[in-house]
Amino acid sequence: MTEDVSFKDKVAIVTGAGRGLGRAMALALARAGAHVIGLAARDRTELDAVAREADNIVPMIADVSREDDCDRVILAAMQRFGRLDILVNNAGRGMKFVSEDFMTNPSRFWEVDPHAWRLVIDTNVNGPFLMARAAVPAMIASGWGRIINVSVSNGTMRRRGFSPYGPSKAALESETVIWAQDLAGTGVTVNALLPGGPTLTGMVPDSLPAERRAQLLRPEIMVPPLLWLASEKSNGVTGMRFNAAKWRAVIPDGDAAAGARESPGWNAD
């Protein structure tokens, strides 16, 4: 079971660690023994609150869409810990940056402000590339590493009115497949992980009714598959995606992983 996984001496970077999925994943890795550098682009208050929950979380403000910031984070990890083992590309911008009422009044793509389009693409597509590009040399040098890209359901990628969020996550799955092939034989794996349904995060509009909000998945659903993917137990598994909602934590990890594994891409769920 993933509960017995130890990450002692491992070093992880979790982007978008101040809230939601990122907070849950950063805390899980830290509580399993990893040194975690948690990133946020703007809000230091949320990030500091997460760091107070675990002594081994180092908070840093960095914008993953900025090449210099990504390079600075990797340099900080290497200078402080001398290694980098795990990168969780979680930072993302959702449809709230296009419209607050995107759930009830979807925007057609030609109605999307180009600035909002670029903002989402810069964070969701360019950000993982810049972080992985900066992180991979250290991982290759050590012969081991884990890159975990946080994705969404195929339905979200194709949902009416979900430009540019849907296209950005489809691009991230393409990045996952291609990077896994580029890194074949290095000991560094690349996989995608998704919650498997609407999740209670900052991307949910404030206008969502309380009864709908109560039905949302909790961010902690990501923890069991994350710990398995980030560990030695997943050696050789790369270029795949895992649906956290399908992960059965009460069975052996190998069986749980097989049940949660999906082919990346854009096929129907």
pTM above 0.85, yes or no: yes
Q: What pLDDT score does 67 carry?
A: 98
* pLDDT (tens place) for every residue of the chain, 269 residues total: 555 678 999 999 999 999 999 999 999 999 999 999 999 998 899 999 999 999 999 999 999 999 999 999 999 999 999 999 999 999 999 878 787 766 677 888 899 899 999 999 999 999 999 999 999 999 999 999 999 999 998 888 889 988 899 999 999 999 999 999 999 999 999 999 999 867 655 555 555 556 665 667 789 999 999 999 999 999 999 999 999 999 998 999 999 999 999 988 766 54
Q: In the chain, what is the greatest distance between 2 CA atoms, to the nearest angstrom?
A: 50
Strands (E), 151-227: 188-194
For 66, the 3-state DSSP assignment is: coil
Q: 98 is written with which tokens?
A: 């296009």
Domains of the chain: residue spans and CATH: 2-262 (3.40.50.720)
Q: What pLDDT score does 220 carry?
A: 93
Q: What pLDDT score does 204 carry?
A: 54
- Given the residues 165, 179, 228, 242, select the one marked as catalytic: 165
Strands (E), the chain: 11-14, 35-40, 57-61, 86-89, 145-150, 188-194, 241-243, 261-262
The string of pLDDT tens digits covering residues 154-176 is 888 889 988 899 999 999 999 99
Active-site residue flag, 9: no
CA neighbor of 98 nearest in space, from 168, 195, 153, 15: 168
Q: What is the DSSP letter of 102?
A: T
CA 222, CA 206: separation in Å to the nearest integer? 23
Q: 113 is written with which tokens?
A: 């402000």
For 190, the 3-state DSSP assignment is: strand
Beta strand 145-150 with 35-40: parallel, antiparallel or unpaired?
Answer: unpaired
Q: What pLDDT score does 107 carry?
A: 86
Q: What pLDDT score does 155 carry?
A: 87
Q: How far is CA 3 from CA 20, 40, 227, 245, in A?
A: 21, 27, 8, 18
